[in-house]
Chain A
Amino acid sequence: MGAVGVTLYFIFTRRLKWRSREIFELAAMPVSETSNGFTGRPMHTGKLSYSQIELRAFAEFMLNNLIAIPYFEENRVVFSLDHSISRIVGLKQEHEPGSWISFDNDGNVTAHISAKDYVKFKDTFAFDKLCTNLGVLFAGFMEKFLKGEGVRVIDKLNDLRLNPFTE
Chain B
Amino acid sequence: MDFKQAAIFGSYISKDYAEDLFRLLAAYTSISASEAASRLNLHIKTVQDFLKAMAGLGILGKEEVFEKKRPYFRYILNVREISMRVDLSPLFPEGEGSEGPGLRIRERKNAGVRFTTARNNQYISSVAIWQGKGRERTERRINLSIPQGKFLFHLPFPSAECLSINEIMKKAEVDNAHTSEIVDIVEALIDLKVIEREIK
A contacts, CB < 8 Å to B: 33, 35-44, 73-76, 104, 108, 110, 126-129, 131
Contacts and interface: CB of A to CB of B under 8 A. Distances in A.
Interface residues of B, number: 21
Interface in B174-192: none
28 contacts: A33-B159, A35-B159, A37-B109, A37-B157, A37-B158, A37-B159, A38-B158, A39-B111, A39-B115, A40-B114, A41-B115, A41-B117, A41-B152, A41-B155, A42-B153, A44-B122, A44-B153, A74-B120, A75-B120, A75-B121, A76-B120, A108-B122, A110-B122, A126-B160, A127-B157, A128-B157, A128-B158, A129-B159
Contact of B160 (A38, A42, A104, A128): A128
B156 A128 contact: yes
Contacts of B154: 44
Contacts of A40: 113-115
Interface in B14-68: none
Contacts of B169: none
Given A73-B120, A75-B120, A41 B159 contact: no
A121 B155 CA distance: 24
Contacts of B113: 40
Given A41-B124, A43-B157, A73-B120, 7 more contacts: A37-B159, A39-B107, A39-B111, A40-B114, A41-B155, A127-B157, A129-B159
A128 B158 CA distance: 8
Given A36-B109, A104-B122, A41 B158 contact: no
Nearest to B157: A128
Contacts of B111: 39
Nearest to B171: A44
A32 to B, nearest CB: 13
5 closest A-B pairs by beta carbon, nearest first, are A37-B159, A37-B158, A128-B157, A128-B160, A126-B159
A127 B122 CA distance: 19
B69 to A, nearest CB: 70
Interface string B123-163: 01000000000000000000000000000111111111000
B175 to A, nearest CB: 18
B70 to A, nearest CB: 66
B57 to A, nearest CB: 49
A40 B107 CA distance: 11
A39 B154 CA distance: 12
Contacts of A38: 158
A107 to B, nearest CB: 11
Contact of B158 (A39, A44, A73, A108): A39
A38 B107 CA distance: 10
Contacts of B117: 41-42
A49 B185 CA distance: 33
B171 to A, nearest CB: 8
Nearest to A131: B157
A105 to B, nearest CB: 9
A65 to B, nearest CB: 26
